[in-house]
Protein backbone atom coordinates (compact mmCIF):
# COMPACT_ATOMS: atom_id res chain seq x y z
CA UNK A 1 0.00 0.00 0.00
CA UNK A 2 1.44 3.37 -1.01
CA UNK A 3 2.21 5.78 1.75
CA UNK A 4 2.64 9.53 1.52
CA UNK A 5 6.17 10.83 1.58
CA UNK A 6 6.92 14.39 2.50
CA UNK A 7 9.85 16.02 0.78
CA UNK A 8 11.26 19.40 0.01
CA UNK A 9 11.63 20.60 -3.55
CA UNK A 10 15.38 20.85 -4.23
CA UNK A 11 14.77 23.95 -6.34
CA UNK A 12 12.31 26.12 -4.36
CA UNK A 13 12.26 24.23 -1.07
CA UNK A 14 8.47 23.96 -1.03
CA UNK A 15 7.03 21.05 0.97
CA UNK A 16 5.58 18.39 -1.34
CA UNK A 17 3.64 15.19 -0.62
CA UNK A 18 3.90 12.25 -2.97
CA UNK A 19 2.84 8.58 -3.06
CA UNK A 20 5.77 6.30 -2.28
CA UNK A 21 5.06 4.14 -5.36
CA UNK A 22 5.76 6.99 -7.73
CA UNK A 23 9.28 7.43 -9.04
CA UNK A 24 9.02 10.95 -10.41
CA UNK A 25 7.02 14.13 -9.96
CA UNK A 26 6.98 17.78 -10.87
CA UNK A 27 7.00 20.42 -8.19
CA UNK A 28 3.57 22.08 -8.20
CA UNK A 29 5.16 25.41 -7.28
CA UNK A 30 8.14 25.83 -9.59
CA UNK A 31 7.73 22.96 -12.10
CA UNK A 32 10.99 21.31 -11.12
CA UNK A 33 11.21 17.68 -12.20
CA UNK A 34 12.15 15.45 -9.26
CA UNK A 35 13.16 11.80 -9.51
CA UNK A 36 12.53 9.54 -6.52
CA UNK A 37 15.08 6.77 -6.23
CA UNK A 38 14.27 3.75 -4.03
CA UNK A 39 11.32 3.78 -1.68
CA UNK A 40 12.64 6.46 0.58
CA UNK A 41 13.21 10.16 0.34
CA UNK A 42 16.23 10.04 -1.84
CA UNK A 43 15.64 13.02 -4.09
CA UNK A 44 17.54 13.41 -7.30
CA UNK A 45 17.57 16.93 -8.60
CA UNK A 46 16.96 17.16 -12.32
CA UNK A 47 18.08 20.29 -14.06
CA UNK A 48 15.14 22.35 -15.33
CA UNK A 49 17.02 23.40 -18.46
CA UNK A 50 17.64 19.76 -19.36
CA UNK A 51 13.92 18.98 -19.01
CA UNK A 52 13.03 21.91 -21.25
CA UNK A 53 15.52 20.71 -23.86
CA UNK A 54 13.97 17.24 -23.88
CA UNK A 55 10.53 18.75 -24.36
CA UNK A 56 11.78 20.91 -27.21
CA UNK A 57 13.29 17.92 -29.01
CA UNK A 58 10.05 15.99 -28.69
CA UNK A 59 8.17 18.98 -30.04
CA UNK A 60 10.52 19.27 -33.06
CA UNK A 61 10.01 15.59 -33.90
CA UNK A 62 6.28 16.12 -33.75
CA UNK A 63 6.46 19.11 -36.08
CA UNK A 64 8.54 17.14 -38.60
CA UNK A 65 6.10 14.22 -38.52
CA UNK A 66 3.19 16.61 -38.97
CA UNK A 67 5.01 18.21 -41.93
CA UNK A 68 5.54 14.82 -43.59
CA UNK A 69 1.93 13.87 -42.98
CA UNK A 70 0.79 17.20 -44.41
CA UNK A 71 2.94 16.70 -47.52
CA UNK A 72 1.59 13.18 -47.97
CA UNK A 73 -1.96 14.43 -47.63
CA UNK A 74 -1.22 17.14 -50.20
CA UNK A 75 0.15 14.57 -52.66
CA UNK A 76 -2.93 12.40 -52.15
CA UNK A 77 -5.20 15.40 -52.65
CA UNK A 78 -3.46 16.49 -55.88
CA UNK A 79 -3.58 13.00 -57.42
CA UNK A 80 -7.23 12.72 -56.42
CA UNK A 81 -7.98 16.08 -58.07
CA UNK A 82 -6.14 14.96 -61.22
CA UNK A 83 -8.14 11.75 -61.42
CA UNK A 84 -11.35 13.66 -60.82
CA UNK A 85 -10.49 16.15 -63.56
CA UNK A 86 -9.64 13.34 -66.03
CA UNK A 87 -12.90 11.51 -65.38
CA UNK A 88 -14.83 14.77 -65.66
CA UNK A 89 -13.18 15.48 -69.02
CA UNK A 90 -14.01 11.95 -70.24
CA UNK A 91 -17.62 12.34 -69.18
CA UNK A 92 -17.82 15.74 -70.89
CA UNK A 93 -16.40 14.30 -74.14
CA UNK A 94 -18.87 11.41 -74.07
CA UNK A 95 -21.67 13.90 -73.56
CA UNK A 96 -20.56 16.07 -76.49
CA UNK A 97 -20.32 13.04 -78.81
CA UNK A 98 -23.79 11.91 -77.72
CA UNK A 99 -25.23 15.40 -78.32
CA UNK A 100 -23.67 15.63 -81.80
CA UNK A 101 -25.15 12.21 -82.59
CA UNK A 102 -28.59 13.42 -81.41
CA UNK A 103 -28.42 16.58 -83.56
CA UNK A 104 -27.42 14.59 -86.69
CA UNK A 105 -30.15 11.99 -86.08
CA UNK A 106 -32.70 14.74 -85.44
CA UNK A 107 -31.80 16.68 -88.60
CA UNK A 108 -31.92 13.48 -90.69
CA UNK A 109 -35.33 12.54 -89.28
CA UNK A 110 -36.71 16.05 -89.87
CA UNK A 111 -35.39 16.08 -93.45
CA UNK A 112 -36.92 12.68 -94.13
CA UNK A 113 -40.29 14.00 -92.97
CA UNK A 114 -39.97 17.17 -95.06
CA UNK A 115 -39.02 15.33 -98.23
CA UNK A 116 -41.88 12.84 -97.76
CA UNK A 117 -39.65 9.80 -97.43
CA UNK A 118 -42.34 7.98 -95.44
CA UNK A 119 -45.38 6.62 -97.33
CA UNK A 120 -47.91 7.92 -94.83
CA UNK A 121 -48.61 11.67 -94.43
CA UNK A 122 -49.00 11.17 -90.67
CA UNK A 123 -45.70 9.29 -90.55
CA UNK A 124 -43.95 12.22 -92.30
CA UNK A 125 -45.40 14.67 -89.79
CA UNK A 126 -44.40 12.48 -86.85
CA UNK A 127 -40.87 12.15 -88.31
CA UNK A 128 -40.64 15.94 -88.70
CA UNK A 129 -41.79 16.83 -85.19
CA UNK A 130 -39.84 13.99 -83.56
CA UNK A 131 -36.75 15.00 -85.55
CA UNK A 132 -37.05 18.63 -84.49
CA UNK A 133 -37.53 17.59 -80.87
CA UNK A 134 -34.44 15.35 -80.98
CA UNK A 135 -32.45 18.16 -82.63
CA UNK A 136 -33.43 20.65 -79.94
CA UNK A 137 -32.87 18.23 -77.02
CA UNK A 138 -29.08 18.82 -76.73
CA UNK A 139 -29.59 22.57 -76.81
CA UNK A 140 -32.21 22.31 -74.08
CA UNK A 141 -29.86 20.17 -71.97
CA UNK A 142 -27.02 22.63 -72.59
CA UNK A 143 -29.18 25.61 -71.59
CA UNK A 144 -30.31 23.88 -68.41
CA UNK A 145 -26.69 23.08 -67.52
CA UNK A 146 -25.54 26.66 -68.11
CA UNK A 147 -28.38 27.98 -65.98
CA UNK A 148 -27.60 25.49 -63.17
CA UNK A 149 -23.85 26.24 -63.13
CA UNK A 150 -24.48 29.95 -62.59
ZN1 LIG B 1 9.79 23.72 -6.46
Lowest mean pLDDT among 19-28, 61-70, 77-86, 92-101: 61-70
Alpha carbons 34 and 43: distance in angstroms, whole number: 7
Q: pLDDT digits over 66-76, tens only?
A: 677 777 788 88
DSSP, res 39: T
pLDDT confidence of residue 1? 65
What pTM was computed for the model? 0.46
Cα of 60 from ligand 1 centre, angstroms: 27
Sheet holding 42-45, edge to edge: 24-26, 33-37, 42-45
Tell me the per-residue pLDDT of 93-121, one tens digit each, with 9 for 90 and over: 998 999 999 999 999 999 999 999 988 88
Bridge partner list, 24: 35
* Cα-to-centroid distance, 52 and ligand 1 (Å): 15
Q: Which residues make up the environment of ion ligand 1, defined by Cβ < 5 Å?
A: 9, 11-12, 14, 27, 29-30, 32
Amino acid sequence: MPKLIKLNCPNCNAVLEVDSDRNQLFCSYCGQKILLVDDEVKVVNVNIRKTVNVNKTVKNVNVDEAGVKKAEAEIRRVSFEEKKYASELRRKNTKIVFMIFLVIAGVLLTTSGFSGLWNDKNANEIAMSLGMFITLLPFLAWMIEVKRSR
